[in-house]
Structure 1
Amino acid sequence: MLGSYTLGSVTAWATYCSVPLPADWAADRPDLGEGPGDLSLWVHQQGCVWSAAESYVEVRALPALTGTPRILDAPACSMVINADGLTVGAFVTPVSDRADLMELGGPQRVTSSQQRLRLPRRLHDGEHVVLAQTGCGAQLESPKFTVQRVPLAPVGIVGPVRGPHRAASFKNLVVGGRLHISVGGTTVVSVEINSSEMRVDIPVLRADEDQTITVIQEVCGEYSLRTSATVQRGEMNLSHTPSPVIRGTHTPLTVTATDKETGAQIAGDVFLGGMKVAETGSVFALTVPATGMPPQITVRIAEYQDATLTLAVADPQMPPPADVHAWVVSDLANIIVDGATWTLFAVDLQGGLTTVEAKDGSDVRFVPPTHGNYAVSATVSVTTPNGQEIALFEDALDNNVHKFNWSGQALKLGYKILWESSQGTVPTQYPVTKLFITQ
């Protein structure tokens, strides 16, 4: 530590205290700001017979300037100045050019680049005000602002006033005035106007009591014309899960209601065919007819307009038709299946074959027209060490066909290429033989 300096002592009056430093605390100790090292403030607390642990905080420089202080609005009769362009951590002091009323309050700490500054008196029409910002590297003064009386326009009511919201939005307001809100001829809310547009809570609003609200604004003892609006019921959006609902199925259904403007979930009763079946957010059972219009669902909530839900429905997905799946593969590295032509035959009582359908491909599916006895054959094109060859079912499979009975259930017929050589090592025949059958 290069040096230290005792600033003084104070008596604590609360568990949390804001203690101002003497204005000239560093005036006679310029060495505290010179040379290397950190500047810290050290605090020690002591009572009659006890002593608390010491603590210190490092003094940090203010951040770089974020802009030039500027007065956004400061109308006559207002006790508030709206400003922006402030440097957080600095101090700002409003100053008037009126010799008799220059005092507009002491320095105020800047906590946001845009801030409302409260004043100890009302501003006067025609006076000029500036903001003097102070702080290490943050000394700036705002442009001069002329205080003027703002014409009092009627208060604008923004959008419908919804009873369940217990609040309303207003515009065309004069900062520094007061907004008076009446319901049924009785003033229920009176608030300071701190912005040209405001949303104000009105706890007594009810949409089912035929209410009307009336609003006026007051500035410097003058009042605007009255503006009125009828309190309306809220509107809701409805949704359901699952979605879509499958026709002809018994479905556990949940209906959810949300406020159309705020998006907040709201609780109410769900009606089906005029009868209550559940509350929103609860599950109830529903069967949508296989044909025709789905049943109509209505949700009713106090202070909201009734809403009707149109169910999203879908037809059930039909299972794929049962078929005969036939394919051919080769497990031999020197025999490659290039393609195949398959023929499906109907087999009569005498064993005769009648062609039903032919398909190309190494992997095909047939759907026989009726139950009964059928046969399948394949001519398979393969590449072998001897070039392009044709592989057929071997004779042992009953005249190069494979017979089977079709009962309407899925049938899998898989075949594998076998290498059969009748003359030495030169392949002359590559027949297809049954590998396995699963049903």
Structure 2
Amino acid sequence: MKDKNAHDELYINAPHGIVIHRDFKVLYVDDNYAQLFGFEKKEDMLKIGSLLELIDPSEWDRSTRTYQAVMSGEKPPTVHSSRNLNKNKQEINVLVVDHVIEWQGQPAMQVTIVDLSQQVKAQKQIRDSERRYRELVDGSIQGILVHQNFTPLFANNSLREMFGLPLSAKLSEVGDMMGYIDPQHWKEIGEKHQQLMAGEQKQIKSEYKVTHVDGSSIWVNLLSSICFWEGKPAALATVVDMTEQKRLQQALEYKANHDGLTGLLNRNSMSEILESAVQTAKDETSDLCCILADIDEFKKINDCYGHHAGDKVLKIFSQRCSDSLLKQGSVGRWGGEEFIFLMQQVDQIEGVFIAERLRRLIASEPIVVGDISISVSASFGIALLNSPQQTAEDLVANADRALYKAKRKGRNCTMLFNEEDQHSLTI
């Protein structure tokens, strides 16, 4: 950004355009920019080898050094004049506004050009030029924010709309921008801002959850660098709304970690939780209880009532498991009609109590599918981590052995694994 007083010295009423490039290779150009340099269509300009062809050779070295310094973060984006050449090699004088953006996942330079070739002296044309420049910035699909310690100095229309701020509101009415960021990010963003302003970081890029004025939450991507505003250092942030991308990412993560039918955690997720829980129990020398549950004679349910009824039984069984466990641990679908429960700091007595409570609940309440009432029961096998040498696989295998004993015992019962296998606990 440039001192506003400097703009007051320019008497401008000129066309303007935008080009986005990387190493002077054109990535995007609008019609105004192309026509300014004598091209009939922007597509023609996309064919040139380098933007340096449109710059006076005497300016090549300075232009290259400025580009490298801005892209590397050594210098903030600048506003400067330049001598350029149109395609007919006619010289034109332009005002160049540089801005670093992200284009297709990589940094690129966005250049706004204002033609100064036809300068006039009227104050009206100064205001017209400033209005045009503001329209360019406000027309950006990205939010642009300039702030000093999160006190806003400039915000374009895209940013105001993103946050739900009235377009007519004065920045003094907006307040501290930190107030719009979710408190969970305050420490991180504060530390990164200090590093940026201290010169420890040339550029910072982060994702933050922001509270919209209407109370809803949005996710934004911030790319911040240092600029100068009225002669003082400030932070220049490019803000991109990535709420939809975040929702898609969360949806994909949920789908990857949860069973599609029951909504419970799937086997892969439970395996990761199991490994972590075993390690925690060993580190803290605490109890860890694993329960395997299997719906009794589930195949007969499918055979008698159809797979639709079987699916309904699985869903309701899963819901009852989740409701019964509450926040005592994790529950997931281990496979088919088999389910797994993991509970940290739960000993043998409490584990048996939890399994029995759920077993009785399942057996006492038939599952209704349409006009059919289906009596359902389940068998439970319990194992506890009782040795530093035990692995996650050992724990599940022991619970599976206890479950097998419950099945052999006649189903609809709870069995506790006993290493010596001298007795089994039947409730």
Smaller-chain TM-score range? under 0.3
Structure with the largest fraction of helix: 2
Greater fraction strand: 1
Q: Which has the larger radius of gyration?
A: 1
TM-score by length of 1: 0.21
Q: Which has the higher contact order (CA 8 A, sep 6+)?
A: 2
